[in-house]
């Protein structure tokens, strides 16, 4: 039955009941109208309006739920759908809205995937150019400066050594940028080693103390899943350094009954009522690529803090065709991360490679 006929029949039922009461009831209308008759008519009209409003409220309540769903729908939090209720056109409208959300979420996930794939390709290209062009040029400059400094007189040699250190610092900074753009450790040593190197870099360039905990029985993860986990951890740590004013951070990667969970917990000032910025929105975009979900909540710390959780469902935990399993060690601390990153840095200095080859 269409919405028009439902509303029409509801109003007709109220008017029919009122007419029947007037015809069959003992109430009469005299001329002029008496006060008691006017009161009875007013009460009858009020009862009619109340009954009509109640019936319309019941009939149109599915539309109100649909309106609330429309105003609260967020494509970065997929899967939320209003329940299909009502009859006729109302139920059809809710089903059409749900179908539209399915299509929009699929199209957004596809477009986000293309955009992020292009972004990763651009990151690799820029990192490669930094390594091949600027990195090699600065390495040649360092060698030339060393040759000139060895032949220069003592007063000039000190100044040349200072220029050497400045150039070496610039080369190290370029290598660090290249590593952030293209996580070579992730590609060559696996997710756990990449997360250790990441936390070591964060502690080296900030005052944060990072404690890591990785389950020893993580399932094999696909390349896309590993990349999303790494990028979310990288973005989360960067946000903590920039905005949280924290001193301690816990980074954990655990196996759960429903899949895998990445946890970032800090003791900072918390997100409070601030709106989500580009960093958190970027995390949600990446999570959508593998069907995962990012939640940002107040931490258990008495003074505040923030918990960022990335929950990867079991359906997204893919078995790779590569026979090598992800490197999983037991619960570790920052000292393990420092050992891994120091080994990689020594290899970088030995062969001039910015890709973290051991």
Mean pLDDT over the full length of the chain = 75
The mean-pLDDT minimum among 21-30, 76-85, 174-183 falls in: 21-30
Q: What is the mean pLDDT of residues 153-171?
A: 84
Residue 323 has pLDDT above 60, yes or no: no
Q: What is the mean pLDDT of residues 145-153?
A: 83
Q: Taking the model in full, what pTM does it have?
A: 0.57
Q: What is the mean pLDDT of residues 293-315?
A: 82
Give yes or no for a cis peptide into 338 (omega within 30° of 0).
no
- Measured CA to CA, the distance from residue 119 to residue 101 in angstroms comes to 26
pLDDT tens digits, 333-350: 434 444 444 444 443 443
Question: What is the reported pLDDT for 161?
Answer: 84
Task: Give the C-alpha distances (Å, rounded to integers) separating 258 from 109, 218, 309, 315, 316.
Answer: 22, 12, 14, 9, 10
pLDDT tens digits, 180-198: 777 777 777 888 888 888 8
Q: Dihedral angle at the C-alpha atoms of 199, 201, 206, 211, nearest 10 degrees?
A: 20
Angle of the 89-129 helix axis to the 35-72 helix axis, nearest 10: 30
């Amino acid at each position: 039955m269409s919405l028009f006929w439902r509303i029409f029949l509801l109003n007709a039922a109220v008017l029919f009941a009122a007419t029947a009461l007037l015809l069959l009831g003992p109430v009469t209308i005299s001329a002029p109208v008496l006060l008691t008759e006017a009161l009875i008519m007013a009460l009858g009209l009020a009862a009619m309006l109340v009954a009509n409003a109640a019936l319309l409220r019941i009939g149109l309540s599915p539309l109100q739920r649909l309106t609330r769903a429309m105003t609260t729908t967020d494509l970065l939090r997929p899967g939320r759908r209003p329940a299909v209720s009502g009859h006729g056109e109302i139920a059809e409208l809710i089903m059409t809205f749900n179908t539209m959300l399915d299509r929009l979420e699929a199209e957004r996930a596809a477009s986000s995937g293309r955009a992020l794939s292009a972004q990763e390709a651009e990151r690799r290209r820029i990192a490669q150019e930094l390594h091949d062009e600027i990195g090699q040029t600065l390495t040649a400059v360092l060698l030339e400066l060393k040759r000139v400094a060895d032949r220069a007189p003592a007063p000039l040699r000190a100044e040349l050594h200072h220029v050497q250190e400045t150039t070496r610092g610039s080369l190290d900074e370029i290598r660090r940028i290249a590593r952030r753009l293209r996580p070579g450790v992730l590609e060559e040593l696996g997710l756990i080693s990449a997360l250790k190197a990441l936390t070591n870099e964060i502690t080296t360039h900030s005052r944060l103390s990072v404690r890591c905990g990785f389950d020893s029985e993580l399932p094999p993860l696909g390349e896309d899943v590993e990349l999303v986990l790494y990028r979310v951890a990288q973005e989360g740590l960067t946000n903590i350094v920039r905005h949280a004013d924290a001193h301690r951070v816990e980074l954990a990667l655990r196996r759960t009954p429903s899949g895998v969970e990445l946890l970032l917990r800090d003791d900072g000032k918390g997100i409070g009522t601030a709106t989500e910025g580009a960093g958190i929105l970027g995390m949600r975009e990446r999570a959508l690529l593998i069907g995962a979900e990012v939640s940002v909540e107040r931490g258990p710390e008495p003074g505040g803090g923030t918990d960022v959780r990335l929950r990867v469902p079991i359906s997204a935990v893919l078995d790779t065709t590569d026979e090598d399993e992800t490197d999983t060690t037991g619960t570790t601390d920052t000292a393990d991360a420092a050992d891994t990153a120091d080994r990689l840095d020594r290899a970088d200095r030995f062969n001039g490679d910015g890709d973290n080859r051991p």
